[in-house]
Every structure is written in structure tokens, then in C-alpha cells.
Amino acid sequence: MMEFLGKTNIDFIGKRNISFVISAIISIIGMIAIIQMSRGVANMGIDFTGGTSVQLKFDKPLAMSDARKALHAAGIEAELQEVKEGNKLLVKLPRKSALAVGKAAELVPAAFVKAQPGLQVTVDSTTEIGPSIGEKLRKDTIVAVAISMLGIICYIAWRFDFKFGVGAVVATLHDVLAMFAAYYITGREFNLLFITAVLTIAGYSLTDTVVVFDRIRENLHKDLKGSLHKIFNNSINEVLSRSIITSLTTFLAAISLFVWGGEVIHDFSFALLVGIVVGVYSSVYVASPVVLLLEQRAMNKGESGAVQPVKA
């Protein structure tokens, strides 16, 4: 029998002060990212802001400064973003840009050809989003995230109890914030695909949390007298290897997307990778300690002093 981890006996719950600090830092960065997004300072995809983006492919390398000059000469105000592979360039035009919708795919390549005669320009893709669409998408996204969170709380609260529901949601929010933080720090573009990744991970990371919760519940029923601290710790240790392995298989699949999946889903798979890793961490270090905290508080209220205090 091959095992990465034999029987472990790590005091996960005992380290909760450290883990809470780490999680708090991650969450705060995530929140900063969201605030910056709402202020419009973060790298936002045009799905949300409205505007135009044109991805071009050239037959030979083109320096960014030359590209900027070419657009400037044509009177096109744009933001340029390098694409990792090939001689590709992403040109983003703000919503206020004077170009009419439907014209960018013509005018932008023309500007380059004019500045550099003989340059072969192919339009890889064009995305133009009118302001009303961006507005609607933003609203829909917020509603989508809210509904799925609500659905998850309700389900977990029904299957376990309310305290577990809270623990699951705190952990899920933590994972989501961590993904925002990772995207923000690496300067990636927040777009619709990112939101898709976030919602996917919100559903997926719960899988892990549910595995841990299931075991905690099972052990709580078996051992009615033991200290909560010990039951929680044992439960996590018991399921640790499966948490890691389930995530590992998904991680393997996601990393192949990240490495070989091509430019379009590169960032998307990055978000998935971050989410998968953080998902394991949060089910051990966030979800369970939060439930423990709530359980202890409930017990202390119910029969103060009857349960031996748990060392923090």
C-alpha cells in the first residue's frame, strides 16, 4: 500500500492563531483587490468596463514603444498588453474611445500597417462591449455569486447544522478572496472567465470542507465525552491524506491546462490552481477552527464551566 502520509498527528487546531493571521492577511489583500476593482484601478477586463479589445498577431516582432507610437499617430488612445506567446499584442480601448462599435477591428490594424508598411497584421480576436452590457454583466455577476453562496449555506446548514454552514461559508469566502488576492498581486485581468473560475472553486473547495466536516460529525457522535479540540484534530488528521490526494488529482488536471492549455485559458487555469491549493488549506485551517469556535461558544453559554476549557 503506497501512502504519502502515514498516520499523522498534527495539532492543526492548536496552530489556529497563526493560521488566522495568515488567512486574515490573504483576505485583506483580497478585499483591497475588490475595492480597487470597484474604484476602477485594478486591471479590469472589458467584459465589465465596456470598451474594445483587439488581439493582433504580427508576422514579425514589434516593440511596444513602436506599437504605442503607431496608435498615437492614428489618434487612437489605447492601453497595450503583451501576450506571452507569438508576436501578439492586446490593444484595449477605453469605453470613451471615439471608435464606434464594429469599427475597431478595421481601424486598429490599419494604424499599424500605416506606421510600419509591410507589416502583416492578423486580427486574432475582437471583443467590443457596449456600456449597457458591461453594466448588466456586473450586476449579474454579483447576483450569481450571492445566490450560489446562499445556496451553499442553506445546503450545508441543512445537512449539518448552522455552525457548520457558517464555517463552510467563511472558508469559501476565504478561498474566493484568496483568488482575488492572487490575481491582483500578479496583475492579471479580472474578467468573466475569472468569475467563472471563482464560482467553480467556490463549489469545488467545499468538497474538501464537506469531507472534513463529515468526519468531525461522525467522530462527535462516536465520542461524546472527549474534548472538542481533540476530536477536531483527530478528524482532520484522519482525512488529511484524502484531502490532499483528491486535490492533487484535480491539481494535476488543472496544471496541464495551465501549462499546455493555451493563452485563452492560461489565467483561468491559474485561478483554478490557486483555488484548489487554498481550498485544502481553508478546509483544515479555516472551516474547522471556525466551527470549533462556534461550538465552544455555544457550549460555554449552555453549561458554563461544564466542559473543560480548550487550550488555545
**Which class for 287: exposed (0-12), middle (13-18), buried (19 or more C-beta within 10 A)?**
buried
Does 210 engage in binding with other proteins (CB under 8 A)? yes
DSSP string, 111-123: HHHHHSTT--EEE
Of 19, 43, 127, 219, the residue at the interface with other proteins (CB under 8 A) is 127
Please select the residue that binds other proteins; options are 36, 148, 227, 296, rule is CB under 8 A. 148
Closest separation between CB of residue 274 and other proteins, Å?
14
Q: What mask, x for binding other proteins by CB under 8 A, covers residues 166 to 195?
A: --------------------------xx--
Compare residues 69 and 159 and give the one whose CB is closer to other proteins.
Answer: 159
- What's the one-letter identity of residue 88? K
254 touches other proteins (CB under 8 A)? yes
Crossing angle of helices 64-73 and 104-115, in 10° steps, is 110
- Considering only 147, 162, 223, 309, the residue that binds other proteins (CB under 8 A) is 147
Q: Which of residues 87-116 bind other proteins (CB under 8 A)?
A: 101-102, 105-106
Using CB under 8 A, pick the residue from 221, 260, 304, 308 that binds other proteins: 260
Separation between Cα atoms, residue 287 and residue 19, nearest integer Å? 11
Q: Is 64 helix (H, G, I), strand (E, B) or coil?
A: helix
Nearest CA to 5 among 262, 245, 291? Answer: 245
13, 288 Cβ separation under 8 angstroms? yes
**Nearer to other proteins among residue 56 and residue 290 (C-beta):** 56
Q: Least separation, in Å, of the C-beta of 208 and other proteins?
A: 8
Q: In 3D, which of 49, 96, 99 has the Cα closest to residue 74?
A: 99
3-state secondary structure of 148: helix
Q: Does residue 257 belong to the site contacting other proteins (CB under 8 A)?
A: yes
Between residues 201 and 290, which has the closer beta carbon with respect to other proteins? 201
Rounded to whole angstroms, the Cα distance separating 50 from 253 reads 33
The distance from CA 94 to its chain's CA centroid, rounded to whole angstroms, is: 25
Spatial contact of 246 and 8, defined as CB atoms under 8 Å apart: no
Site residue total, other proteins (CB under 8 A): 69
Q: Kindly identify the residues of this chain, within the stretch 16-55, that bind other proteins according to CB under 8 A.
A: 55
Does 161 engage in binding with other proteins (CB under 8 A)?
Answer: no
Per rule CB under 8 A, is residue 140 in the interface with other proteins? yes
Q: Where are the beta strands (DSSP E) in 23-179?
A: 51-58, 79-82, 88-93, 121-129
What are the residues binding other proteins (CB under 8 A)? 1-2, 55, 57, 101-102, 105-106, 122-130, 132-133, 140-141, 143-144, 147-148, 151-152, 155-156, 159, 192-193, 196, 199-200, 202-204, 206-207, 210-211, 214, 218, 238-239, 241-242, 245-246, 248-257, 259-262, 264-265, 268-269, 272
